[in-house]
Amino acid sequence: MIEDRELATWREQWRSGAEPSPDLENQFHAKLHRKIRKQNLRFLISNLFVAIALIAVLIFAAWAVRQEPSPLRIGWAVGIAMLVFGGGAYRIWAQRGTWRPEAQSTRAFVELWYRRAAAKIRLIRMAFYLIPGWILFCAVLSAANWSAIGPDVHAHPADWWLALGAIFLMVLVSFLWLAWYRRRRLAELDEVKRVLDEMKD
């Protein structure tokens, strides 16, 4: 966020009903431009990274099925493909209107900042549903193929308990991180909303 002395002074002048000085307005506008330029780079890199990761996951799933075309592997690969295409489509939908400002004004840049913060919260909300959904899918898939994996579970119970413990720990850490990240993004969204509301007054 750009909450600092310049922004606080700018906001205080807006609250008092006085127009911010041209120098302060220019500083705020320049700072916002720099922030959005940095955001643009991070936005592009994160989307590129996600696209590469999704393609890599699809390639790995196809390779795994080719190595062992069992019903369990095929079902898992189908689930992966649905997750990749569904998650990618949702990400594109959640980020609509976040690629560039509608104008070159200060308000347009603040609105872009707001839309990006809101998009991050939508993606976090999806992750909260996606994780338990994927666990449920894997549980159903395992139950449907129990005749194939059951003997291995009975033969090596310690390995399976260790795997379940690792999965539980990963899910717990994921939820804790998502909760922390969501709080940060909500605070950012509230801050930008206050700036927008004060710009209207």
Question: Where does residue 175 rank: exposed (0-12), middle (13-18), buried (19+ CB within 10 A)?
Answer: middle
Buried b (16+ CB within 10 A) or exposed e, 122-149: ebbebeeeeeeeeeebeeebbeebeeee
Average pLDDT over residues 166-188: 92
How many distinct structural domains can be found in the chain?
1
pLDDT tens digit string along 90-147? 999 998 888 887 777 778 888 888 999 899 999 999 999 888 888 888 888 888 777 7
C-alpha–C-alpha distance, residues 106 and 117, integer Å: 17
- From residue 178, alpha-carbon distances to 49, 64, 132, 169, 200 in Å are 19, 30, 13, 14, 33
At 195, which amino acid appears? V
Contacts 24+ apart (CB under 8 A), 140-148: 141/72, 141/75, 141/76, 141/79, 142/72, 144/75, 145/70, 145/71, 145/72, 145/75, 148/70, 148/71, 148/72
pLDDT tens digit string along 6-19? 556 655 655 555 55
Quickly state the pLDDT bin for 2 (edges 50, 70, 90).
Answer: very low
Angle formed at CA 28 by CA 24 and CA 34, multiple of 5 degrees: 145
Question: Does the pLDDT value for residue 55 go beyond 90?
Answer: yes
**Domain coverage including residue 60:** 5-200
At 137, which amino acid appears? F
C-alpha–C-alpha distance, residues 117 and 40, integer Å: 13
Residue 168 tokens, joined: 């539980």
**CA atoms within 13 A of residue 148's CA, in its CB half-sphere:** 9
C-alpha–C-alpha distance, residues 193 and 64, integer Å: 47
Dihedral of alpha carbons 133, 139, 140, 141, sign: positive
Percent of the chain at pLDDT above 70?
85
Q: How many helices, marked H, and strands, marked E, lie in the chain?
A: 6, 0
- 99 and 163 Cβ atoms separated by less than 8 Å: no
